[in-house]
């Protein structure tokens, strides 16, 4: 998950829910299947954690997953979007199709957590030797979905409909010069022959272990990047009137961009962020350079607002530059769309989550990180929720993407129960 943040609202939840309570039982037959698969779920999770692989390079990981799904008797497709795996479980009776998704890739982060199964993996990333770690918890996602696959495959004859298990590479982004992730899986047709009626996904999050957080509508932000190149006219630093100073123009643009979320967008619709992350230009103290380049990120939770931000960034930069006799070239690169939970689906499935976790079901805060689950949810109704993995010891709680990120394994059975129950309840309710 890109640029995950432990938000203040999520931090407050840590003080509100302090312990994992006993699990409310699913139907006995289902709960017995969950209980029987849990030792293997823990084993899978630890193995994936110890052997992480970066996006589009999940060769060992996808091989283990494909072998497991094949052993369960599913129709299995491999090599989708480089290393993606899709398993199809057809129930004993015809009915709707539900998709369950887990992401597989790790991050170029050197692990600092003292675990017997800590990652020691190193590899090359963008020309650098880096450590590799499941610092965003995708090892948990895979193990949970493999466990749910075992439970549901054991109930195949009782299922009314079909379950699609999506194991996706490169959620954190494809390597430079490559495509990947959910967008490429869809482009290669995973929904073409068998289109789900709904798709569900989860992400582990540093809130108390076993808590589930979900909300209707916009949940995680869109994530777009921009480059603004300001073209002035180089001159001596002692004679600024003899040229056009792109540094001053760039400074004015930075300040102008901040008026977009604060003064140009409807503040009651959705929070929005315009951040300039770097400014580069110039070589010497006494030379006004010819040009300056700025790069930054744009975040919001509403598709229409996203379009408005793009228009206003371009207009603001171009017109401020023109007022000084300079020019501004604006390039906006689209990243992940808004991750929006379908309101009707979310309302319909909240009782399922509540049955699994009881009063540990809470409303998720808005998350300014981005997720490519959004592509699936733009194709079919989707619901994405957060599963708490924070330890009781606050000194062990770190945000996703930290080298100290730690996932409490007490959350694993909750994840298996939730994904299993969502699939069963959705199929039986259609």
Q: Which two tokens stand for residue 247?
A: 């540094």
27: pLDDT strictly greater than 60: yes
Q: Is the dihedral of CA 24, 16, 8, 340 positive or negative?
A: positive
389: pLDDT strictly greater than 60: yes
The pLDDT value given to residue 245: 98
Q: pLDDT tier at 108 (50, 70, 90 boundaries)?
A: very high
Weakest mean pLDDT among 5-19, 161-175, 389-403 = 5-19
222: pLDDT strictly greater than 90: yes
Mean pLDDT of 28-35: 95
Mean pLDDT of 338-361: 97
The pLDDT value given to residue 110: 98
223: pLDDT strictly greater than 50: yes
The pLDDT value given to residue 22: 44
- The continuous run of DSSP H or E covering 319 comes out as helix 303-323
Architecture of domain 222-333: 2-Layer Sandwich (3.30)
| Phi, psi at 156, each rounded to 5° | -50, -50
Residues with catalytic annotation? 336, 409
Q: How far apart are CA 301 and CA 215, in angstroms?
A: 12
Q: pLDDT tier at 326 (50, 70, 90 boundaries)?
A: very high
Q: What is the pLDDT of residues 39-48, one digit of tens each?
A: 999 999 999 9
According to CATH, where is 3.30.70.360 located in the chain? 222-333
DSSP one-letter code for 9: H
Mean of the per-residue pLDDT values for the chain? 94
| Phi, psi at 284, each rounded to 5° | -135, 160
Give me the DSSP letters along 160-226: EEEEEEEEES-TT-PPTT---HHHHHHHTTTTTSS--SEEEEEEEEEEETT-EEE-SEEEE-EEEEE
Mean pLDDT of 27-32: 94
The pLDDT value given to residue 25: 54
Q: Within 10 A of 126 (CB to CB), how many other CB atoms are there?
A: 8
82's torsion region: left (phi>0), alpha (psi -120 to 50) or beta?
Answer: left
In contact, 203 and 371? CB cutoff 8 Å:
yes
294's torsion region: left (phi>0), alpha (psi -120 to 50) or beta?
Answer: beta
The pLDDT value given to residue 374: 98
- The torsion angle over the Cα atoms of residues 136, 138, 143 and 149, rounded to 10 degrees, is 140
14: pLDDT strictly greater than 90: no
16: pLDDT strictly greater than 60: no
Q: What is the layout of strands, in order, in the sheet containing 327-333?
A: 272-280, 291-300, 222-231, 327-333
Fold of 8-220+338-429: Aminopeptidase (3.40.630)
**CA 404 to chain CA mean position, Å:** 19
Q: Is the dihedral of CA 56, 59, 61, 67 positive or negative?
A: positive
Give me the DSSP letters along 247-269: HHHHHHHHHHHTHIIIIIS-TTT
Q: pLDDT tier at 100 (50, 70, 90 boundaries)?
A: very high
Mean pLDDT of 346-350: 98
15: pLDDT strictly greater than 70: no
Q: How far apart are CA 43 and CA 49, in angstroms?
A: 10
According to CATH, where is 3.40.630.10 located in the chain? 8-220+338-429
Q: How far apart are CA 370 and CA 379, in angstroms?
A: 17
32: pLDDT strictly greater than 90: yes
Helix (H, G, I), strand (E, B) or coil at 338: coil
Q: pLDDT tier at 26 (50, 70, 90 boundaries)?
A: confident
The pLDDT value given to residue 135: 98
Sequence-separated (6 or more) residues with CB below 8 Å from residue 99: 163, 164, 165, 166, 196, 198, 199, 200, 376, 380
- The continuous run of DSSP H or E covering 46 comes out as helix 28-50
b/e burial code for range 26-65 (CB count within 10 A of at least 16 → b): beeebbebbeebbeebeebbbbbbbbbbbbbbbeebbebb
Q: Which two tokens stand for residue 113?
A: 């957590």
Q: How far apart are CA 24 and CA 211, in angstroms?
A: 13
Q: How far apart are CA 336 and CA 377, in angstroms?
A: 12
1: pLDDT strictly greater than 60: no
């Amino acid at each position: 998950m890109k640029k995950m943040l432990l938000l203040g609202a999520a931090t407050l939840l840590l003080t509100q829910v302090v312990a994992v309570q006993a699990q409310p039982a699913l139907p006995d037959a289902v709960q017995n299947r969950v209980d029987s698969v849990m030792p293997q779920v823990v084993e899978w999770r630890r193995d994936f954690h110890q052997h992480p692989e970066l996006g589009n390079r999940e060769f060992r990981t996808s091989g283990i997953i494909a072998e497991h799904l094949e052993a369960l008797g599913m129709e299995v497709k491999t090599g989708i979007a480089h290393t993606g795996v899709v398993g199809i479980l057809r129930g004993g009776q015809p009915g709707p199709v539900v998709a369950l998704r887990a992401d597989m890739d790790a991050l170029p982060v050197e692990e600092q957590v003292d675990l017997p199964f800590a990652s020691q993996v190193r590899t090359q990333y963008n020309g650098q030797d880096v450590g590799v770690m499941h610092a965003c918890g995708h090892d948990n996602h895979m193990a949970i979905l493999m466990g749910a696959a075992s439970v549901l495959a054991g109930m195949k004859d009782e299922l009314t409909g079909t379950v699609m298990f999506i194991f996706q590479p490169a959620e954190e982004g494809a390597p430079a010069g490559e495509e990947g992730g959910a967008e490429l899986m869809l482009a290669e047709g995973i929904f073409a022959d068998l289109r789900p009626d709904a798709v569900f996904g989860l992400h582990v999050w540093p809130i108390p272990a076993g808590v589930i957080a979900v909300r209707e509508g916009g949940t995680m932000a869109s994530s777009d990047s921009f480059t603004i190149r300001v073209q002035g006219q180089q001159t001596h630093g002692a004679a600024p009137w003899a040229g056009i100073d792109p540094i001053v123009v760039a400074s004015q643009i930075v300040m102008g961009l901040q008026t977009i979320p604060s003064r140009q967008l409807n503040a009651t619709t959705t929070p929005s962020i315009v951040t300039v992350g770097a400014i580069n230009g110039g070589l010497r103290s006494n030379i006004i350079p010819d040009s300056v380049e700025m790069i930054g990120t744009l975040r919001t939770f509403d598709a229409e607002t996203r379009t408005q931000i793009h228009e206003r960034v371009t207009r603001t930069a171009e017109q401020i530059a023109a007022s000084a006799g300079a020019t501004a070239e604006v390039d906006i690169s689209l990243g992940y769309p808004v991750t929006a939970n379908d309101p009707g689906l979310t309302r319909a499935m909240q009782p399922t989550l509540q049955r699994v976790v009881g009063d540990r079901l809470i409303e998720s805060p808005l998350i300014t990180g981005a997720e490519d689950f959004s592509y699936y949810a733009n194709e079919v109704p989707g619901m994405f929720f957060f599963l708490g993995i924070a330890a009781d010891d606050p000194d062990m709680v770190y945000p996703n993407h930290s080298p100290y990120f730690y996932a409490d394994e007490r959350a694993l059975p909750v994840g298996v129960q939730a994904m299993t129950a969502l699939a069963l309840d959705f199929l039986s309710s259609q």
